[in-house]
Amino acid sequence: MSEKLKVGILGGTGMVGQRFISLLENHPWFEVTTIAASPRSAGQRYEDAVGGRWKMDTPMPAAVKDIIVKNVNEVEEVAKEVDFVFSAVDMSKDEIKAIEEAYAKTETPVVSNNSAHRWTPDVPMVVPEINPQHMDVIEFQKKRLGTTRGFVAVKPNCSIQSYAPVLTAWKEFEPYEVVVTTYQAISGAGKTFKDWPEMEHNIIPFISGEEEKSEKEPLRIWGEIKDGVIVPADDVKITSQCIRVPVLNGHTAAVFVKFKKQPTKQQLIDAINNFSGVPQELKLPSAPKQFIRYMEEDNRPQVALDVDYENGMGINVGRLREDSIYDWKFVGLSHNTVRGAAGGAVLCAELLKAQGYITAK
Ligand SMILES: NC(=O)c1ccc[n+]([C@@H]2O[C@H](COP(=O)([O-])OP(=O)(O)OC[C@H]3O[C@@H](n4cnc5c(N)ncnc54)[C@H](OP(=O)(O)O)[C@@H]3O)[C@@H](O)[C@H]2O)c1
């Protein structure tokens, strides 16, 4: 019998759900045993429920094709089959909040890709290389929920992954003012060019809610646990513009930074290349060996060449140069549906298992 932990994917038929299923094929610790989606898909074989909507480059894993899709709303039915769930359902924020807590209350840990709980004060929002210690707030959340092993943990928005890790690597130089423009791929909206043909040869200067997330979420990641809640940092100001561009996968960020301490270019590059965290120390299965890399070529990072660096889990940085108004500027690139969505959540779950928060039921 398999000793892997049994995993359910809530929203498994959607784009992020499909990415979870692809990433978990042959995972050494986790096995997808259960898939849940809307009542429209419930009762069907997974392959039939997805139909022509499979959006991954790799084929659908054979092991999931015959799984009968369950209804996300039948919480007990889903929860009794699994050790924990990944959440990628698309419902209203209030519905997602409620359903994720309902799963947690069945003593089923929820690792969520959704934004609904990102500002719930006792829910950790974690990039495992940056703030693994925030998982400690789970003990306070469990008290609130009245659970012994059930809780919700989330990963942050895809847009921040192209610059927040870089600013973290530069913490010793005290960045305090940041201007960022993100150029975001259409898969971030759950779309391909087939279902969003208007995006070909086009740019749309608006992504609902994205600028607020891009400005505020890094502060929560750099925050501290005080009195059982996460208190965001307040020593960095970020302003952003988020633009949708005709790219399938990969969010690029053009960033300007002011520092309190003046680093040299070489110090900044060394800090990027040498930055690593708990996932690298523990050699978690999805951890990139090199979390952030600096590219010297003037025309890198490029989406077409670099988005899959470290299987989509690494961050690419280039074009670091002095600025005439700010101190330094650079360009970052990360994979929005791998590091920025499902892959980031899988790494969180691996960290939670390593920390003892996720166990077999
Ligand atoms: N795409 C990204 O890169 C990305 C990044 C970060 C966060 N997110 C967030 O992740 C979530 C999923 O995104 P996505 O792009 O994967 O969306 P999607 O492709 O539209 O998939 C949505 C999933 O939710 C299910 N669903 C929809 N309405 C439901 C309902 N009323 N009750 C229960 N299940 C329902 C769908 O099931 P059916 O197939 O049965 O309809 C499907 O499994 C969203 O909240 C999105 O904002 C996405």
Q: Which pLDDT belongs to residue 106?
A: 98
Quick one: 76 exposed, middle or buried, by C-beta within 10 A (0-12, 13-18, 19+)?
exposed
Q: Which pLDDT belongs to residue 1?
A: 47
Q: What is the mean pLDDT of residues 178-189?
A: 97
Ligand 1 nearest atom to the CA of residue 13, by list position = 43
Q: Which pLDDT belongs to residue 2?
A: 65
pLDDT at 273 over 60: yes
- Taking the C-alpha atoms of residue 159 and residue 215, their distance in angstroms, rounded to an integer, is 10
Give residue 72 CA to ligand 1 midpoint distance, Å.
12
Q: What is the mean pLDDT of residues 32-52?
A: 98
What positions carry a catalytic annotation?
Answer: 158, 251
pLDDT digits (tens, 9 = 90+) for 131-180: 999 999 999 999 999 999 999 999 999 999 999 999 999 999 999 999 99
pLDDT at 53 over 50: yes
Domain ranges of the chain: 5-157+342-354, 159-335
- Taking the C-alpha atoms of residue 151 and residue 191, their distance in angstroms, rounded to an integer, is 30
The whole-chain average pLDDT of the chain stands at 97
Please state which CATH class domain 5-157+342-354 belongs to.
alpha beta
pLDDT digits (tens, 9 = 90+) for 223-260: 999 999 999 999 999 999 999 999 999 999 999 999 99
Q: What is the pTM of this model?
A: 0.97
Q: Which pLDDT belongs to residue 204?
A: 98
Q: What is the mean pLDDT of residues 71-80?
A: 98
pLDDT confidence bin for 186, thresholds 50/70/90: very high
Does the domain formed by 159-335 have CATH 2.40.40.20? no
Classify residue 60 by its DSSP letter: P
Ligand 1 nearest atom to the CA of residue 71, by list position = 33
- Taking the C-alpha atoms of residue 286 and residue 101, their distance in angstroms, rounded to an integer, is 26
Site to probe by mutation for ligand 1, drawn from 9, 10, 13, 16 as the one with most ligand atoms within 8 Å of Cβ, is 16
Question: Which residue CA neighbors atom 20 of ligand 1 most closely?
Answer: 14
pLDDT digits (tens, 9 = 90+) for 78-131: 999 999 999 999 999 999 999 999 999 999 999 999 999 999 999 999 999 999
pLDDT at 277 over 60: yes
Q: Which pLDDT belongs to residue 113?
A: 96
Where would I find the H helices in 51-178?
Answer: 62-65, 75-79, 93-105, 138-145, 164-169
* Cis preceding-peptide flag for 175 (omega within 30 of 0): no
pLDDT digits (tens, 9 = 90+) for 296-347: 999 999 999 999 999 999 999 999 999 999 999 999 999 999 999 999 999 9
Buried b (16+ CB within 10 A) or exposed e, 84-96: bbbbbbebeeeeb
